[in-house]
Amino acid sequence: MDKKQLAALTEGRFELAFARCELRQRGADDPHVLVGSGFLVQDKDGALLLRLAAHEERTDMQVLKMEFSQSWASGQLIPETAYYDLKAWTVSGTEWRAERVSPNMDYGMHGTAARIRLRRIETREQWEQFAEHTKITVSIPEELDLPWHIWTKKSEFGGATDKFEHDTGKFSWIAHKENGQTTLVFYPDGDSAEPAFTHFWRGLHIVLGRLIESQSFFIVEGHWRTKRLASRVRTTSKRRLAPPIRGWAFDAAHFHAFIAAFLEHATLQRDEGGVTKQGGHSDLIYRHWQRISDAWENDLENSALVLSVAIEGLIKEAFANEHDVDAEFIAQLDRAKPILKKATLDERALGCVLASIGNARAPRVGDVLRRLVDQGALHDGHVKAWSALRNSSAHGGTLADDDLVLQVYINRFHICLDLFYRLVFVIIGYRGHHRDYSVVCSPAQQEWPIVPFPPVPPSTASAEEVEPAAEGEGATPST
């Protein structure tokens, strides 16, 4: 696509005509197929909308009956046969594809038509020229608040700091801003270009503190060129989750370090029981972060429960191990089991008690948090804030109409958010500076302090008093 087409896509006036379209039902032995011409446009919200007029239709009265009478039960997953796959060809013969679309059919006296909202549509072409380096280019319809740190000279007397660039040796990326938009180019290493970019994209979301969307996506890989267009599925919110790293120009190195650590962790090859697996807990991290972000954007009270449960889930999956088991307590449980079995309890009560004993053998979140405090990754204030926030939200606590109570709640939320970020730092092996949200700022302070990670293991530090460590000092926490 040229700049003119990209501009049209960004402005919501993109259009593309198809000489032939084929819409084929999924999951059916005798699929319903519509064939005709089509026209792709954008609606007023920027979503891609394809209108198809069928001039060939392979169907029968049974299909028509199904179309007119179908109704899905509330609360049930829609069956695969309700979705279709799309193939469309331009006049020049370029083939575009979209999978698992849900068309709205219109049956009339003069034939059948379909209106289809597309989440994305793509084309893949083979070129004679071979690209030695894989490249992914993404166009973002806004100017991202990245720590722009590279100067671009535009004339003899002027220029601008408008680039964001880094090279890890294995991966490299560069972003530049122009006319209120951002173009991002990613160079992966190896054959798994798109999976690596997905992890890069997720790491970028986390370090920015919000979701971002792209409307065009291009992959140049060997002899193949892939072009993907996407609908504007949501407006990017200006209210973002407090990001882990400040986005000023002199913080660019820490921005890059976080993304590189997240990407390295996500693409790392490891062996588990003789089976080679790629990545660690990157999917889990992003899933919990996305839930926290969505809750914070939409509901202040619900965000407490989502954040505290996300911390618990991350700890159970990535941190809890045999070192967090209380051996003395386990021994007491083992002694109690035969005593209980001899007691005159009915089967239901005995089963309930034994099940509770079984659950009690697992490492507790509080024990893991205390281990991380001992290792220096966290401090006591994190544990206290998490316990207070989780207990209140999990048992139906609501916010009182009181500014002081609200401020305490917001303080606890940010201390727990700092706890979540520090867990992520430990998992991915991030080393660098971050915002310390565990410090309760006074009204006179303009922002949270910037401290290195890992920190110096505190002795009597609390949520209100955290001594920043000197750069390069501190323990190395482990999972």
pLDDT in tens, 296-318: 888 888 898 999 999 999 998 88
H-type alpha helices, 61-163: 61-69
CA–CA gap between residue 2 and residue 18 (Å, rounded): 19
Residues 100, 132, single domain; the answer is: no
Residues 227, 140, single domain; the answer is: yes
Asked if the structure places residue 458 within a domain, the reply is no
Label the pairing between strands 150-153 and 159-167: antiparallel
pLDDT tens for 174-197 read 999 988 889 999 999 766 789 999
Residue 146 neighbours by CB distance under 10 Å: 21
Residues 140, 7, single domain; the answer is: no
Of 441, 369, 436, 390, residue with least CA distance to 411: 441
Asked if the structure places residue 113 within a domain, the reply is yes
CA–CA gap between residue 378 and residue 368 (Å, rounded): 11
CA–CA gap between residue 452 and residue 474 (Å, rounded): 9
Asked if the structure places residue 432 within a domain, the reply is yes
Which positions ≥6 away from 213 have C-beta within 8 Å?
A: 140, 141, 230, 232, 233, 234, 236
Among candidate residues 276, 298, 333, the one where a domain is terminated? 276
Residue 214 predicted with pLDDT over 80: yes
Tally of domains in the chain? 3
Asked if the structure places residue 21 within a domain, the reply is yes
pLDDT band per the 50, 70, 90 thresholds, residue 62: very low
Residues 371, 401, single domain; the answer is: yes
Pick the residue with more confidence: 118 or 331? 118
CA–CA gap between residue 457 and residue 146 (Å, rounded): 31
Residues 258, 289, single domain; the answer is: no
Residue 421 predicted with pLDDT over 50: yes
| Domain residue limits at 8 | 3-67+80-118
Q: Residue 303, exposed/middle/buried by CB under 10 A (0-12, 13-18, 19+)?
A: buried
Pick the residue with more confidence: 331 or 368? 368
Among candidate residues 91, 118, 145, the one where a domain is terminated? 118
pLDDT tens for 224-264 read 999 999 997 655 555 689 999 988 888 999 999 999 999 99
Buried b / exposed e along 266-296 (16+ C-beta atoms within 10 A)? bbeeeeeeeeeeebbbbebbbebbbbbbbbb
Question: Residue 429 gets which letter from DSSP?
Answer: T
Question: Quick one: pLDDT at residue 465?
Answer: 39
One-letter-per-residue 3-state SS of 165-222: EEECCCCEEEEEEECCEEEEEEECCCCCHHHHHHHHHHHHHHHHCCCCCCCEEEEEEE
pLDDT band per the 50, 70, 90 thresholds, residue 347: confident
Residues 297, 439, single domain; the answer is: yes
3-state secondary structure of 260: helix
Among candidate residues 276, 301, 336, the one where a domain is terminated? 276
Residues 192, 44, single domain; the answer is: no
Asked if the structure places residue 171 within a domain, the reply is yes
CA–CA gap between residue 442 and residue 445 (Å, rounded): 5
Question: Quick one: pLDDT at residue 36?
Answer: 93
Residues 49, 97, single domain; the answer is: yes
Residue 345 predicted with pLDDT over 80: no
3-state secondary structure of 11: helix
Residue 30 neighbours by CB distance under 10 Å: 11
**pTM exceeds cut of 0.85:** no
Q: Tell me how far CA of residue 258 lies from CA of 158, 205, 263, 431, in angstroms.
A: 32, 11, 8, 8
Average pLDDT over residues 137-165: 89
Pick the residue with more confidence: 193 or 453? 453
Residue 473 predicted with pLDDT over 50: no
Which positions ≥6 away from 70 have C-beta within 8 Å?
A: 82
End-to-end Cα distance, the chain: 46
* Element spanning 371, H or E: helix 365-375
pLDDT tens for 150-159 read 998 877 778 8
Residues 45, 193, single domain; the answer is: no
Question: Quick one: pLDDT at residue 474?
Answer: 41
Asked if the structure places residue 376 within a domain, the reply is yes
3-state secondary structure of 466: coil
Asked whether the beta carbons of 216 and 140 are under 8 A apart, the reply is no
Question: Quick one: pLDDT at residue 199?
Answer: 95
Asked if the structure places residue 467 within a domain, the reply is no
At residue 416, what is the residue type?
C
Residues 63, 172, single domain; the answer is: no
Question: Quick one: pLDDT at residue 460?
Answer: 43
Verify cis geometry, omega within 30 degrees of 0, for the bond prior to 454.
yes
Asked if the structure places residue 333 within a domain, the reply is no
Question: Quick one: pLDDT at residue 280?
Answer: 80
Residue 367 predicted with pLDDT over 90: no
CA–CA gap between residue 231 and residue 248 (Å, rounded): 31
Question: Quick one: pLDDT at residue 342?
Answer: 74
Question: Quick one: pLDDT at residue 307?
Answer: 95
Residues 91, 217, single domain; the answer is: no
Question: Quick one: pLDDT at residue 257?
Answer: 97
CA–CA gap between residue 472 and residue 418 (Å, rounded): 20
Residue 68 predicted with pLDDT over 60: no
Lowest mean pLDDT across 122-131, 418-427, 449-458: 449-458
CA–CA gap between residue 452 and residue 263 (Å, rounded): 20
User: In this structure, is the dihedral angle defined by the CA atoms of residues 399, 404, 406 and 409, taken in order, positive or negative?
Assistant: negative
Residue whose token pair is 């991350």: 314
Which positions ≥6 away from 433 have C-beta within 8 Å?
A: 245, 251, 254, 450, 451, 452, 453, 471
Asked whether the beta carbons of 112 and 34 are under 8 A apart, the reply is yes
Question: Quick one: pLDDT at residue 259?
Answer: 97
Residues 27, 137, single domain; the answer is: no
For the chain, counts of helices (H) and of strands (E): 11, 17
Distance from chain centroid for Cα 265? 15
> What rounded mean pLDDT belongs to the chain?
83
Which positions ≥6 away from 325 have C-beta within 8 Å?
A: 361, 362, 363, 367
At residue 92, what is the residue type?
S
Tokens encoding 368: 């893991």
